[in-house]
Amino acid sequence: MKILISNDDGFDAQGIKTLVQYLSIDHKVVVVAPNENKSAASSSLTLNRALQPIEIKKNIYSVDATPSDCVHLALSGMLDDVFDLVVTGINFGANLGDDVIYSGTVAGAIEGRFLGLPSLAISLASWEGKHFDTAGIIAQRLVAQISHAQLSHDTILNVNIPDVPLADIQGFQTTRLGKRHQSEKSVPDKDDGSKFWIGENGKEADNGVGTDFYAIANRYVSVTPLQIDLTKYNEIDTVATWLETIK
């Protein structure tokens, strides 16, 4: 296959280099990724300026842009290549539960699906980053079998991998997104109290059996199928009834 690779940690991050190392064994890969860390960029697109891709070396491009920008450019005219698959990552840190709303790594995969390609987002679920090779091997195995996954056209796979040696991985689990508690309070900057840092993610709230949190805690690879339709269908009638009361 010909695979487009992107991420939100930047083209020079260890995770994306590991992903390229393992996927290029059996496939042709092209990297189009941000020039620096764009974590938590979500699905933002840059519309107020033109974007300048820079070819770092053959088949590796850096762009001062978001992950969604990078995937959009690569699939919509920047390159002549015709791709079969989009893979984003390997993210440094988990994308579990509510994280997927903010994640640039997941957003890059979403953009790939918007533009018609099967897409996977790969994350190493730790801030220690000791075992990127484990994630690289898991990504290689998933990609090798992706053509056999009978997924609907709008499905994105969000994959989180425990940060442990490959021999300690207990297997794969199909999971749902867990939930976090409310995020921590914003923190004043220590040098300028008029400025604030966004608070840390909230702790795990829903992490029971079947969730992505549970799988990672028990050393399973978590594979969560995601969809983009955010409509809350069971509330449509409730909202319709409410609207009827508005004059």
Directed axis angle between helix 132-145 and helix 14-23, to 10°? 40
* Surface-to-core class of residue 59, CB atoms within 10 Å of its CB (0-12 exposed, 13-18 middle, 19+ buried): middle
For residue 228, the tally of other CB atoms under 10 A from its CB is 11
Tell which wins on pLDDT, 198 or 5. 5
In Å, how far from its chain's centre is CA 124?
Answer: 11
Kindly provide the residue ranges of all beta strands, DSSP E only, lying in 94-189, ordered along the sequence: 119-124, 156-161, 172-174, 179-180, 187-188
Which H or E run includes 135?
helix 132-145
Predicted confidence at residue 150, as pLDDT, reads 86
- Beta-bridged to residue 158, according to DSSP, are 121, 224
Q: What is the pLDDT of residues 56-84, one digit of tens each?
A: 999 999 999 999 999 999 999 899 999 99
Residue 47 is which amino acid?
L
The mean per-residue pLDDT over the stretch 101-117 comes to 95
Q: Which residues, other chains included, contact 174 with Cβ-Cβ below 8 Å and sequence gap of 6+?
A: 223, 224, 225
pTM to 2 decimal places: 0.91
- Binning pLDDT at 50, 70 and 90, where does residue 143 land? very high
Kindly provide the residue ranges of all beta strands, DSSP E only, lying in the chain, ordered along the sequence: 2-6, 28-34, 54-57, 60-63, 85-92, 119-124, 156-161, 172-174, 179-180, 187-188, 196-197, 204-206, 221-226
- Binning pLDDT at 50, 70 and 90, where does residue 35 land? very high
Predicted confidence at residue 204, as pLDDT, reads 66
Q: What is the pLDDT of residues 188-236, one digit of tens each?
A: 888 898 888 887 777 767 788 999 999 999 999 999 999 988 899 999 9
